[in-house]
Amino acid sequence: MITTDVDVTKYDEMEEKVIEIRRVSKKTKGGNTIAFAVLAVVGNKNGRVGIGYGKAPDVAASITKAVEKAKKSMVNIKLNGPTISHDVMAKYGSAKVLLKPAPKGTGIIAGGAVRSVLELAGVKDISAKMIGASNKISNVRCTINALKKLKG
């Protein structure tokens, strides 16, 4: 019997969350081609999170593509218990995000797309502020950039 030290369960516990589904169209010679674009976040609520963006002619296929891309782009986050260790600010395009640690029991004080990323990353107490863009894709990517900057 062969035993390994690899923890297989960490891949099974992934949670996925669809943040946005957009109907997009393209002008072609024969008329409009309609497709769907999906933004999804995947995380294990224990310091690993990833984002993915998928496009396909139907919603189910685009969700599948987005989730697969999110699983491939997973990053490790350095947490300090239920919160982060220090203030961090990041920029992506015109979007800026400010993340601040919060005392135990505060919860996640953040809006929309940023909240989803932080929940799936496993952060329980944090205060976040988006400055600039209201575009969900930019906000999510900016939040991931901020979480990558954490020193732990």
Helix, strand, coil percentages in the chain from 3-state DSSP, rounded to 5: 25, 40, 35
Ranges of H-type helices in 5-135: 9-12, 59-72, 112-121
- Predicted local distance difference test score (pLDDT) of residue 8: 39
Q: Looking at the domain assignment, is residue 135 inside a domain? A: yes
Q: Which of 60, 75, 90 is the last residue of a domain?
A: 75
**Does residue 44 share a domain with residue 28?**
yes
Q: Which of 30, 54, 75 is the last residue of a domain?
A: 75
> What does the pLDDT look like over 89-132, one tens digit per residue?
999 999 999 999 999 999 999 988 999 999 999 999 999 999 99
- Predicted local distance difference test score (pLDDT) of residue 6: 40
**Does residue 112 share a domain with residue 59?**
no
Structural domain of 55: 9-75
Q: Looking at the domain assignment, is residue 4 inside a domain? A: no
- Predicted local distance difference test score (pLDDT) of residue 143: 95
How far is residue 75's CA from residue 148's CA, in Å, rounded to a whole number?
Answer: 8
- The answer to whether 47 and 66 are in contact (CB under 8 A) is no
- The answer to whether 144 and 49 are in contact (CB under 8 A) is yes
**Does residue 117 share a domain with residue 62?**
no
| pLDDT of 11 higher than 70 | no
How much is the average pLDDT of 11-32? 90
CATH at 94: 3.30.230.10
> In Å, how far are 123, 130, 151 from 106, measured between CA atoms?
11, 18, 22
- Predicted local distance difference test score (pLDDT) of residue 13: 84
Place of tokens 């004080």: 109
Stated pTM of the model: 0.86
How far is residue 136's CA from residue 109's CA, in Å, rounded to a whole number?
Answer: 17
**Does residue 98 share a domain with residue 141?**
yes
Q: What are phi and psi of 146, to 5 degrees?
A: -65, -40
- Predicted local distance difference test score (pLDDT) of residue 7: 41
**Does residue 91 share a domain with residue 49?**
no
| pLDDT of 83 higher than 70 | yes
> What does the pLDDT look like over 46-78, one tens digit per residue?
999 999 999 999 999 999 999 999 999 999 999
- How many separate domains does the chain show? 2
CATH at 54: 3.30.160.20
- Predicted local distance difference test score (pLDDT) of residue 138: 95
What six digits make up the tokens of 19? Answer: 């943040």
Q: Per-residue DSSP letters for 104-149?
A: TT--EE--HHHHHHHHHHT--SEEEEEES---HHHHHHHHHHHHHT
